Amino acid sequence: MVNKIYGLLGICSKAGKITAGTEAVIEGINKNQIELVIIAEDTSQKTKQKIENICKEKNVIVKSFGTIFDNSKAIGKVNKAIIGIKDKNLSKAILEKFCGGEVLEKR
């Protein structure tokens, strides 16, 4: 499962369907461009809480997954704790890997 999620993150990155970094993801959420947010498990508690609150307010799904190093490596960036997925179909595919099956629509 883990390798498949990293593979999908790589595909998202190559397709230009991600936003990485706290401020960039917050901006994307506020513009309704983000379908799914992935927060690295070793992200600071303050940053996690900030992102989770914004996502809850804007009805965006949030998942905690991987480490900052591994997640950043998967998308070809350095030191990115927060990743926003812009594409609905790719975010659904990632969620299916998390849940192990079908995913309910959020909107």
What's the pLDDT score for residue 100? 73
- The fraction of the chain above a pLDDT of 90, given in percent, is 85
Indicate the domain borders of the chain. 2-99
CATH number given to 2-99: 3.30.1330.30
42-89 pLDDT, tens digit each: 999 999 999 999 999 999 999 999 999 999 999 999 999 999 999 999
| Region of residue 27 (left: phi > 0; alpha: psi -120 to 50; beta: else) | alpha
9-55 pLDDT, tens digit each: 999 999 999 999 999 999 999 999 999 999 999 999 999 999 999 99
